[in-house]
Amino acid sequence: MTATDRTPSDRADVCIVGAGPAGGIVAHSLAERGHEVVVLEAGPRVPLEERLERMERHQRPAHDWTDVWDMGGDRDAYSSTGDVDYPLNRTRIKGVGGTTLHWIGYTPRLHPKDFEMESRYGLATDWPISYGDLRPYYAEAESEMGVAGSEDNPFAPPREASFPMEAFPPSHSDSILGEACEELDIDVHSVPQARNSEGYDGRSACVGYGTCTPVCPSGAKYDGSVHVRKAEEAGARVVDRAQVQRLEHGPDGERVEAAVYATPDGTEHRQEARQFVIACGAIETPRLLLLSQSETYPDGLANSSGAVGRYLMDHLLYLVTGQLPEPTGQHQVGFTTSVTHQFYDHEEETPGSFFVGFLNYAGPSPVEAALGDGGWGDDVTTAVGRSYGGHIGTEALVEQLPDPNSRVTLDDSQTDDHGNPVPDVHWTVGDYARATAEKAIQVQRDILSEAGARVDYATPDHSPLSGSHPMGTTRMGEDPAESVVDPRLRTHDLANLSIASSSVFPTGGAMNPTLTIAALSLKAAEHVDAAL
């Protein structure tokens, strides 16, 4: 087998850090325009043929979630010091394709109000761009990723064309919860998702493994490796297992000159380029900038505002599940097919935005329970027949506001496998999000109660789960004193450094962020192309 060449390219127009969906989309867009593109990715390549084995890891009790994608150890070390523990290695994946290798696949657009929080409610800040500005990029992102959806959502923002694919049909549990919502005057509709309901873009229709998180073995669910492959076909070079240690700027501090990266044997290389794009998520992006401190930027690269790492947001996730008196025969589908956005837009400032989705949930695994009790063979079969399929459940994603004290910093007491300080994630939730959560949990309980279910679990309102959607740590804005990047996604401080990531979100709304990341990545690529 030929050894992988991880030495720098002699010539590069653009160097991109990160090969997730943002990095892949930017790389593909720029390579198609004829530019010489190099992508540096900290993690390995994950061939599609390996994913079935990774799914099997997930299904075996001996393995936990992080084992599926080999997360952990010195490379992925971090600290969590906020009010709520932040399970970073369950929310991210380092590898070609990035965190979309295990995402759920939902692709809603943010609403116009999410761009106008200060103007509408006197809260947080406005984005320097509007929904209208991002609208054509949203449409392009839906086409590029392949989104299945329906125009049945009366609360959705305006759009310009139908979805690329038809929505998935409602599930059996959707009908049970939908009837309850009808009695409660709650409108129910489909949820757009980057999962093929038919063959699309050379990938098959969903074949129903039901293991969308943490792994889709068929490739029917979109992930960032799709655009990485397209970028390589267009001439881009993608170097895996090449951890970028720092960015180095020129003597005047106005331009980045090189990305310094380390290969698996510890050798450091410098990749020079005319333009640089950081696309490694809302935790590693600020960490890289902070690690790139210099005499010119003693507080971290591109950090003259002091905003690098600050304003960390996530979506609070609340689950409420229950059991019906009669078995339903519901089997795990693996993704949500029906939701309600009825509680998203609001006139008053509180409670904030949230949405409720119906889980295609069959209950706790009876196989794992039986094995844990020492059962085997017929014991497991009996347990499955007795208890599988009588449960229903809901999930809610809840909005939180940006807070400068919620942030990513460097923890000098721990180092990674190359001796760099690890990220310290200090996630602060805030009273606004907690008040909104109370409303969301009550709506979830009302739905299950109306459906005749006995609630058997509810996420405590004071101890939310992470939606696995970190955002906001290199925020976008017009004022260089208050933000890190401008509306063109270029850093205020360095003329050839752009950021494509959820880290640029000034506010986070309560919608899954990946489609917005993709739309912003297309926008960033357009601006980088113009600069070249």
The residues carrying an active-site annotation are 469
Distances (CA, A) of 428 to 403, 404, 408, 432, 477: 7, 9, 11, 11, 22
**What are the φ and ψ backbone dihedral angles of 423, each rounded to 5 degrees?**
-75, 140
d(CA 395, CA 385): 26
- For 54, the 3-state DSSP assignment is helix
Closest by CA to 519, choosing from 42, 115, 61, is: 115
**Using DSSP, how many helices (H) and how many strands (E) does the chain show?**
13, 20
d(CA 301, CA 283): 15
Closest by CA to 454, choosing from 363, 387, 392, is: 392
Sign, CA dihedral 454-457-460-461, equals negative
Distances (CA, A) of 25 to 228, 234, 290, 495: 7, 12, 25, 21
Do strands 14-17 and 37-40 pair parallel, antiparallel, or not at all (unpaired)?
Answer: parallel
Cβ pair 302, 285 in contact under 8 A? no
**What are the φ and ψ backbone dihedral angles of 191, each rounded to 5 degrees?**
-120, 130
Closest by CA to 237, choosing from 18, 67, 38, is: 38
d(CA 114, CA 28): 29
Closest by CA to 165, choosing from 190, 148, 142, 144, is: 148
Strands (E), 307-372: 316-323, 338-340, 354-359
Sign, CA dihedral 93-96-100-103, equals negative
Question: Residue 178 class from Cβ within 10 Å (0-12 exposed, 13-18 middle, 19+ buried)?
Answer: buried
Q: Which residues pair with 394 in a beta bridge?
A: 320, 358
d(CA 128, CA 419): 38
d(CA 485, CA 505): 10
Tokens, residue 306: 């002091």
